[in-house]
Amino acid sequence: MVQVYTEPLCRRHYGGLLSAPACLRAAVLLGAIALSLVVAFATGGFWRKAEWDTLQPAVHYTGDGVAIFEGLQPGDEQVWASSPALQDALGGAAALASVQVAELDANGDGVPDAVHFVAQLPSAGPAVHSVKLLLQFRYELRGGGLHVPSYALAFLEASSPLPGAALNADGWLELRQAAPLQRQAYESAYDSPLFTAPQSRGAAALQAEGLVDLPGLLARYADRNQTAVFVPSYSVWTAAGSSGGGFTLNVRVRVPPHQLVLYRRVPSLGESLKWGWVQFLATFAAVGWLAAWFEWGVFRLRVLETRVASDVAPRQGPRF
């Protein structure tokens, strides 16, 4: 013979409607509910305030950029700018560099995976000991209920005590957020170029007292809620030979295929109640289990006086 079912012993405890045992059970139930709400809220996640998603931003080079090639002595600067107005304003400091830019789409999905920038400086001019590069991109986040068009800047700086012949850099254009974005909304607060080429507007935006004002432009850019920052994976400075030979700036800006984006959204009433109900039940299951054991101990040990009725009838002796 094997045991196929176990029937627990059932005992029922009776007391007055307003007796101490009845009040205890009501207090335990209300306490378990209140404690579950407090624990679920205090541990966080009771209401969904912010979420995250991974998107590939659409990044396109706008054709705007500035490259500063500096020597050891003040006044040895050579500046290349995409703005003709800025080139004219720089006068003798303007560099006639040969620039090539290509957008690379490795997987053929129509979204650029990288932007390759190459600037070649002719050999005429002072030796290059420091390079600063600033490029502007059209940066758009779309997907998952988000649509955030904006303009982004990629900045690169490198220097060496040795005169250089080339700088090769490779890195990622990563998103930085001071606060989550608003989901299910069109955010166009930063949908305007940070510096432009038409007329003297580009020169006014980038030039201060005859020099390119990169610190001021980058400071205004850093004050934004969301920015894209160029994070180099590596940068290699190649020293120049005795014969010179100009300078080559070779930079590849990669676009993260799975960029982490934080966003805030206002959930509907039904969604909020459903999410809060799930959090409450998950906590109440544990608290209710502890409360049930507490009640069992109180009534099993007869801490409070009750009338007990058992489903198991007492065994009767044989009748004669």
- Contact (CB, 8 A) for 78 and 141: no
What is residue 184's predicted lDDT score, i.e. its pLDDT? 64
Residue 317 CA to residue 320 CA, distance in Å, equals 10
CA 246 to the chain's CA centroid: 40
E strands, 105-202, in order: 114-121, 128-143, 146-177, 181-182, 185-186
Q: Is the pLDDT confidence value at 61 over 50?
A: yes
What is the separation, in whole angstroms, between the first and last Cα of the chain? 33
Within 10 angstroms of residue 214's Cβ, the number of other Cβ atoms is 18
Residue 42 CA to residue 34 CA, distance in Å, equals 12
Angle of helix 20-42 versus helix 269-300 axis, rounded to 10? 140
Residue 214 CA to residue 206 CA, distance in Å, equals 7
Within 10 angstroms of residue 12's Cβ, the number of other Cβ atoms is 10
Least confident of 108-112, 162-166, 203-207: 203-207
pLDDT range class, residue 222, cuts 50, 70, 90: very high
> Do strands 78-81 and 11-14 pair parallel, antiparallel, or not at all (unpaired)?
unpaired
**How long a stretch of residues is the chain?**
320
Q: Is the pLDDT confidence value at 179 over 90?
A: no
pLDDT range class, residue 266, cuts 50, 70, 90: low
pLDDT range class, residue 209, cuts 50, 70, 90: very low
Residue 40 CA to residue 252 CA, distance in Å, equals 48
What is residue 1's predicted lDDT score, i.e. its pLDDT? 58
Tokens in use for 295? 């009640």
Could you read off the pLDDT of 125-176 as tens digits, one per residue?
788 999 999 999 999 998 877 888 999 999 999 999 999 999 999 999 999 9
Return the residue matching tokens 């998952």: 144
> Do strands 146-177 and 226-239 pair parallel, antiparallel, or not at all (unpaired)?
antiparallel
Could you read off the pLDDT of 69-81 as tens digits, one per residue?
998 888 788 888 8
- Contact (CB, 8 A) for 208 and 294: no
Q: Where is 240: in which H helix or E strand?
A: none
What is the mean pLDDT of the segment spanning 308-314? 67
